[in-house]
Structure 1
Amino acid sequence: MAQNKNNNNQQYLTRYPLESIGESLYSTKEGIQQVIQKSDPNVKGKNVIWTTDYTHELPVVMKKDGLGSTPPKTIPQIFKQNAEQFGNLKALSVKIKGQWQSINYREYYEQAQTFAKGLISLGIQKQRAVNIIGFNHPCWNVAFMGSIFGQYMPVGVYTTNGPEACQYVAENSDAEVIVVENRTHLAKYLQVWDQLPLLKYVIVYNDILPSDLPVERKGQVLDWNQLLEKGRMFRATTQEDNIEYRQENVTPGQCCTLVYTSGTTGNPKGVMLSHDNYTWTAQAIINQYDLSSSKGNHRLVSFLPLSHVVAQVLDIVGSMISCIHVYFADSTALQGSLVNYLQEIRPTVFFSVPRVWEKIQEKMLALASSNGIVKQKIGNWAKSIGVQGTQAEFKGEKLPTGFGIAKKIVYDNIKKAIGLDQAKYVIVGAAPLSPSIRQYFLSLNIYIINGYGMSESSGPQQLSNPVDFEVLDEEAAKSCGKNIEGTDILIANPDIHGEGEICFKGRNRFMGYYKNEKATMETIDEQGYLHSGDLGKLDKNGNLYITGRLKELIITAGGENVAPVLIEDEIKDQLKFISNVMVVGDQKKYLACLLTFKHELSPEGQLIPNKILPEALNHIKALGSSASTIDQAKQCPIIRKAIEEGIAKANERAISKAQRVQKWVLIDGDFTVDGGHLTPTMKLKRKVVTQMYTPQIESMYIEAKL
């Protein structure tokens, strides 16, 4: 990790390196002076690299040419311009009692202003945080934008957070206002309100207020319409309280939001992102995929948590910049209703996480197995030329014989069936997508753009492009693509294989961690590079391959470093009925792993005990097993033999003997967010899982102790 040396200014919350960065320019001279006045007057003329105080402003570091040289802009500045020029275009739509209700960009902008004025009328201190918790809804976007308009700090909170986690974010972010979707989330804050001395109001946006509110909270809990009415009635008596004045006095280098990390190894950290971080990054994505050429013609389905950085940069900021029409799915989207929304809306842009594609593939394979012999042969023929044809199509090269017919009778019908027949771009992120799944959809003429990034990079850092590499190459299919234009990437301390820590910098790099100087100094070095903690390598064309994570490295008893993620993915590719794999073996003589079966979920998203997912059951039946429950499958010799063979095949791809898995154990249940095994972004909490299943893990090493 990065370690800043010559730390003479450690008492200050804003870091100044000793030497300037030669290629850098700055947005405004006034911006630099303002930051200097707020910190150390003796560092005049130095470049400002990071800060841990969201009331501070950082100058925008610009390139001399290209996308990195574009003039920085603020969110209110762009929104106002688009509301004036494209105000009649539809902005946000949500289903209410089975009917779509919409507002256009002018109404969206005005509602955000009204929300901001409502907060000003309540006496909320400028630059205080506004926490927002709830499923995706127009009110979520309005609260986010309105907070920014009023120079407040919007902070998304995961709906899976319990009262203690909600309290931590509210306390750490200095929240004076909480916006909640319903009474369920309201109850979390009522439970911890006494421990939040700064908290003044809670606003409920999609539910009626409970009749049994504590007496001391009546008047502090408002419904959405009450707040907006206060905003409509508000008249500023000072310039500072004028909403237009506040919007105009925002600068690109100021913090616009805090995004809290998933917290795989401890409490989540508040990632400070500036206006330029978000507007520049969103514009970079828009430019790369030409999403601004036809304002008003793009549609997007919003269903991933808006507390996540990618959902914010796409569903909120990017959609506003390109005037994309955003449709909101309901809270059952990830439990099965998403495809219904896709079929109805037919989005032109679709972003999802790997689990969504896994579910789609499982259902498609189950459907294919039930087709007649003729349909199966046609489908297999179409898939046999799909990969080559899709690549040729993107490159503008000659198409293989029969590709046009396959497109008409197979590919187009499949895309229409899953609602993606009009999707120009399909993007996956937040976690690695299995190369085999990516290749499967490529064979069906669906190119999934693979990305790499993190909260600290304002979302994406790398994005793949079908013309950048040969998709027929199995290794190339694992690539995350090239860094977005205007950013720099390097591999620090590479080994003989070219693998090392992924480091990058650019206008997408975050400002720092709020109130956390130590973590910020460990992450950003004096040249401005962010040290990601991820391991990777670059090929000769600049495509990035993720190989592991520094904090997740397993160091065997023999001293060899092993990155578990690639091994886990390989095992899951071999065993289609397995949901999760966790490789263990730190300070042990060999590797072992925990396995979980794919469980069927209830409509509420809860695991149904002992019930195998139907798609997984099809794979089990194909093995010749009659097992129909989890308990039966765990004891079935056919399945256990299949697991042995699958792990053996995965081991054949290991680059060394130390990276082969020698033992395994099936555990009850599955890894879930509610169970504490996974973060809200589906990242594995390895230390937590290790503690939960210590007896099972130790049982795989009993012989090694004798």
Structure 2
Amino acid sequence: MADGVTVNGYTHETETSSVNKSPKTAPAPWNGNSNVQTDQSKTAVTKSSEIEKEDKSTATPPKVDQGDGNQGPDQILPSNDLWTSSAGGRVKVRGDEESFKSQPPLSVPGLVKKAASLYPNRVAFLHKDAHGSWIETTFKQYEQDVRTVAKAFIKLGLERYNSVCIIGFNSIEWFYSDLGAIFAGGFAAGIYTTNGPEACFHCLESSNANICVVEDEKQLEKIKEVKNRLPLLKTIIQYSGKPKDPDVLSWEDVMRIGKEESDDKLNAILKTIAVNECCTLVYTSGTEGKSKAVMLSHDNLTWDAYSVTKFLNLSAEVEEVIVSYLPLSHVAAQLMDIYCTLTVCAKTVFADKDALKGTLKNTLVEARPTIFLGVPRVWEKMHEALLSFGKQSSGLKKMLASWAKMASLQYHENAINGNASESYRFKFYKWLVFDRIKQRMGFDRCKIYASGAAPLSMDVKKYFMSLDIVIIEVFGMSESGGPHTCASYNKYNITGVGLTIPGAETKLDIKEEYGPDQGEICMRGRNVFMGYLNEPEKTKQTLDEEGWLHSGDIGKIDELGYLHITGRSKELLITAGGENVAPVAIEQLVKSEIPEISNAVLIGDRRKFLSILLTLRTEVDSEGKPTDVLVKDVKSWCEKITGESCETVSDIVNNSDRLKKVSDEIQEGINRVNKKAVSRAQNIQKFSILPADFSIDDELGPTLKLKRNVVYKKYADVIEDFYRETGK
């Protein structure tokens, strides 16, 4: 390994890699959010060339139980393996002595018990009943109900190291099913609600599911379609409404069965549980083929939740509030909604199932969260709604809004540069404008605004910053148990995805084709997964012998220690001329210059020039599928360009005159993008407006990640037309 040299405050391996170690303590010159008060202690980011010599995979772990294996659930059972793909396998607890001292390994049942012991009467959940009234559940009741569900699952045939699969919208029953499966010695495995019957079958079969919990009849039909091919599936439970099928249990049935059982069997199983065993399966989005079951241990989840909440200065001393609405089958929602809330005894308010179709704003106003996590599409929808509302203002109101935004941007830009003093002008606009906007959005007491799962555009971040809403980005993956880096309000950088969370490590595997000081992002720490269930070869391709998780993402580390994502190694386009092009940055720039564009897909691998496929923003139907109808802003844009009414995408692509005028306008935006290109080889030379926007479970995965191979195949004829005249 090459010797490390420190450049601009971070370690850079001159030949092969660079390693970034998390800060020992959180930096604190600026809180980034005028709603937040933080201590102003000075700190430093520790990054040393000695990191390369320090092998965290062999650091001294906490005491390993050498007894009969019945000291659980917080015991550590013997293992020297860094990974496993076996359901009953164990791994060595990774980390250094400092992380073990700050957070001793803790099981999921141990975490639930700890929360219930610390704050038994604090409200854990708020959800609405059938009449629209809010119902409270305390942490004491939370633990009792999870134990009741676990006892029912044991009675219904859940076997050790087999799974309970859950498909449905966020609810108390989802939480109880997840944690009940873990308490009972099985695995919790979420299934995306957008999955079809065959995708559901894959999850059920590969996880050896004994029980499947569904929300309603719609999800039940998917399971019934494949049930006869699942000999291990013993029980189906429907948690919303009364099942019509006599072979399907209701949630009331589950609770009744659990209450009739003694605690003996459950307590006996809990004693066998170890923190270095698997407790949860998270299925990857399947953008590159059949989804893989990511095995996460108790320690993966409880440690990551501890590290993230500590980094964000959250504690149980303050009653935090979050709204649960993002899919719990995704690791980000699981970590935030289940594990972070348990760690700091926060209140979880459940949104209704139409949250992503427009009702989320109502829940936010009622719940008034102190922490809010959104995926980019959620922030983009809020952005669009606020822009649309702003266009209705005129005269003095419009001028005041413009002045206020400028004042906010100036304040936050000054704060980033070390001057966090609030001017009287900023304080005035905060009182007159920003506080009122936040109140209308339900953000009047929110102190953390976060975005994850995909990159958030700079335009959207700057827009919200102009409203005194500073969004921090988090970066991670299912295999890292959730967040691995997180932006800090105390040391903010608007262009990065954050600093490495305390106790973890980030390394760049530098390669010349990625660009200067760029490399594949590799991660190591107690958050890194155990392996892919029953897929040892794929596990070995992802986890190396030193315990580094190879993400497949390309990035760089700046002088502040912030990680920047510049692309994916598997998405890297290599043109016929040998130019390496990272498509994501160019695609984001196109959407920034032409906000009427919903999706952009760059083409150019082994081609003579770059081209791009574009979709226009359209309305979605009740199922969340894109329709042909253009959103209001795009309708107005098209009407202004063409001089005619344009209601749908078809009105444009099926009319040559309108199509030419709209294409000419888009070309102007492409020209602006090309002026910012680093080389002529990165200029976009051709584009096409597709007849429909992209849809989940077609061109997009469940977390809205682009399935490039699907797009390439579906629009192969369009792509070939780009190059037909000039050849490849």
Q: TM-score when scaled to structure 2?
A: 0.87
Matches of 1:105 and 1:587, distance apart in 2: 57
| Count of residues paired in the alignment | 660
Counterparts in 2 of 1:12-91, with a 5 A limit? 24-30=59-65, 47-65=80-98, 69-91=102-124
Task: Please give the secondary structure, in 2, of the residue aligned with 1:477.
Answer: coil
> 1:66 deviation in Å?
5.1
In the alignment, is residue 319 of structure 1 matched against residue 319 of structure 2? Answer: no
Matches of 2:442 and 2:703, distance apart in 1: 24
Contact 2:652 2:659 in 1 (8 A): yes
| Change in 2 beyond 3 A, CA 1:330/1:651 | same
Match for residue 304 of structure 1 among 326, 336, 359: 326
Counterpart residue number, 2:508: 491
| Change in 2 beyond 3 A, CA 1:551/1:253 | same
> 1:153 deviation in Å?
0.5
Contact 1:257 1:273 in 2 (8 A): yes
Task: Please give the secondary structure, in 2, of the residue aligned with 1:94.
Answer: strand
Letter in 1 for 2:499: K
> 1:123 deviation in Å?
3.1
| Change in 2 beyond 3 A, CA 1:446/1:29 | same
Counterpart residue number, 1:126: 160
Match for residue 536 of structure 1 among 531, 555, 570: 555
> 1:85 deviation in Å?
2.6
Letter in 2 for 1:389: Y
Task: Please give the secondary structure, in 1, of the residue aligned with 2:491.
Answer: coil
Counterpart residue number, 1:652: 675
> 1:502 deviation in Å?
0.4
In the alignment, is residue 376 of structure 1 matched against residue 398 of structure 2? Answer: yes
Matches of 2:437 and 2:638, distance apart in 1: 25
Per mean C-alpha deviation after superposition, the further-off stretch among 688-697 and 47-56 is: 47-56
Gapped runs of 5+ residues in structure 1?
1-18, 35-43, 470-475
Q: Percent of pairs identical after alignment?
A: 38
Counterpart residue number, 2:273: 250
Counterparts in 2 of 1:460-475, with a 5 A limit? 460-469=483-492
> 1:443 deviation in Å?
1.1
Counterpart residue number, 1:192: 226
Counterparts in 2 of 1:101-140, with a 5 A limit? 101-140=135-174
Match for residue 431 of structure 1 among 433, 449, 454: 454
> 1:208 deviation in Å?
1.2
Q: Deviations over 1:341-394 (max 9, x none)?
A: 111111111001001111111111111111012111111111112123235568
Task: Please give the secondary structure, in 1, of the residue aligned with 2:256.
Answer: helix
Matches of 2:707 and 2:161, distance apart in 1: 33
Match for residue 564 of structure 2 among 514, 526, 545: 545
Letter in 1 for 2:107: T
| Change in 2 beyond 3 A, CA 1:225/1:33 | closer
Matches of 1:462 and 1:498, distance apart in 2: 19
Match for residue 445 of structure 2 among 401, 410, 422: 422
> 1:569 deviation in Å?
0.5
In the alignment, is residue 152 of structure 1 matched against residue 175 of structure 2? Answer: no
Matches of 1:321 and 1:455, distance apart in 2: 20
Contact 1:129 1:154 in 2 (8 A): yes
Counterpart residue number, 2:210: 176
Q: Deviations over 1:582-612 (max 9, x none)?
A: 1111111011111111001234423332x11
Contact 1:131 1:170 in 2 (8 A): yes
Matches of 1:300 and 1:544, distance apart in 2: 26
Matches of 2:474 and 2:55, distance apart in 1: 31
Contact 1:468 1:481 in 2 (8 A): no
Q: Deviations over 1:110-148 (max 9, x none)?
A: 111001101111232122100000001110001111111
In the alignment, is residue 581 of structure 1 matched against residue 600 of structure 2? Answer: yes
Matches of 2:693 and 2:640, distance apart in 1: 22
Matches of 1:168 and 1:666, distance apart in 2: 35
Contact 1:77 1:247 in 2 (8 A): no
Counterpart residue number, 1:9: none
Letter in 1 for 2:593: Q
Letter in 2 for 1:490: K
| Change in 2 beyond 3 A, CA 1:20/1:583 | closer
| Change in 2 beyond 3 A, CA 1:223/1:68 | same
Counterpart residue number, 1:5: none
Q: Deviations over 1:258-287 (max 9, x none)?
A: 000001111000000111110110011111
Contact 2:61 2:97 in 1 (8 A): no
In the alignment, is residue 501 of structure 1 matched against residue 520 of structure 2? Answer: yes
Contact 2:211 2:236 in 1 (8 A): yes
| Change in 2 beyond 3 A, CA 1:385/1:625 | farther
Matches of 1:625 and 1:593, distance apart in 2: 26
| Cα RMSD for the two superposed structures | 2.2
Contact 2:295 2:532 in 1 (8 A): yes
Per mean C-alpha deviation after superposition, the further-off stretch among 248-257 and 353-362 is: 248-257
Counterpart residue number, 1:12: none
Matches of 2:144 and 2:57, distance apart in 1: 43
Q: Deviations over 1:27-74 (max 9, x none)?
A: 23337998xxxxxxxxx9984211101311212123132578521111
Matches of 2:100 and 2:674, distance apart in 1: 44
Counterparts in 2 of 1:344-363, with a 5 A limit? 344-363=366-385
| Change in 2 beyond 3 A, CA 1:45/1:366 | closer
Task: Please give the secondary structure, in 2, of the residue aligned with 1:552.
Answer: coil
Matches of 1:560 and 1:185, distance apart in 2: 47
Contact 2:64 2:78 in 1 (8 A): no
Contact 2:312 2:488 in 1 (8 A): no
Contact 1:151 1:246 in 2 (8 A): yes
Matches of 1:587 and 1:335, distance apart in 2: 40
Matches of 1:50 and 1:102, distance apart in 2: 41
Letter in 1 for 2:255: L
Contact 1:391 1:467 in 2 (8 A): no
Matches of 1:618 and 1:281, distance apart in 2: 46
Match for residue 612 of structure 2 among 588, 593, 603: 593
Contact 1:67 1:485 in 2 (8 A): no
Match for residue 420 of structure 2 among 388, 392, 397: 397
Contact 1:625 1:638 in 2 (8 A): no
> 1:465 deviation in Å?
1.4
Letter in 2 for 1:613: V
Task: Please give the secondary structure, in 2, of the residue aligned with 1:705.
Answer: coil
Letter in 2 for 1:283: Y
In the alignment, is residue 632 of structure 1 matched against residue 651 of structure 2? Answer: yes
Counterpart residue number, 1:208: 242
> 1:225 deviation in Å?
1.1
Q: Deviations over 1:299-344 (max 9, x none)?
A: 1111100000011001011111211111111111111111111111
Q: Deviations over 1:84-124 (max 9, x none)?
A: 23111111222122111221111111111001101111232
Matches of 1:524 and 1:74, distance apart in 2: 23
Match for residue 310 of structure 2 among 274, 281, 287: 287
Per mean C-alpha deviation after superposition, the further-off stretch among 662-671 and 22-31 is: 22-31
Contact 2:620 2:626 in 1 (8 A): yes
Matches of 1:373 and 1:31, distance apart in 2: 76
Letter in 2 for 1:325: K
Counterpart residue number, 2:3: none
More relative contact order, 1 or 2 (CA 8 Å, 6+ apart): 2
Matches of 1:359 and 1:22, distance apart in 2: 43
Counterpart residue number, 1:40: none
Q: Deviations over 1:448-481 (max 9, x none)?
A: 0111110011111111113324xxxxxx522101
Letter in 2 for 1:30: D
Counterparts in 2 of 1:325-344, with a 5 A limit? 325-344=347-366
Match for residue 614 of structure 1 among 611, 615, 632: 632
Per mean C-alpha deviation after superposition, the further-off stretch among 273-282 and 284-293 is: 284-293
Matches of 2:347 and 2:419, distance apart in 1: 30
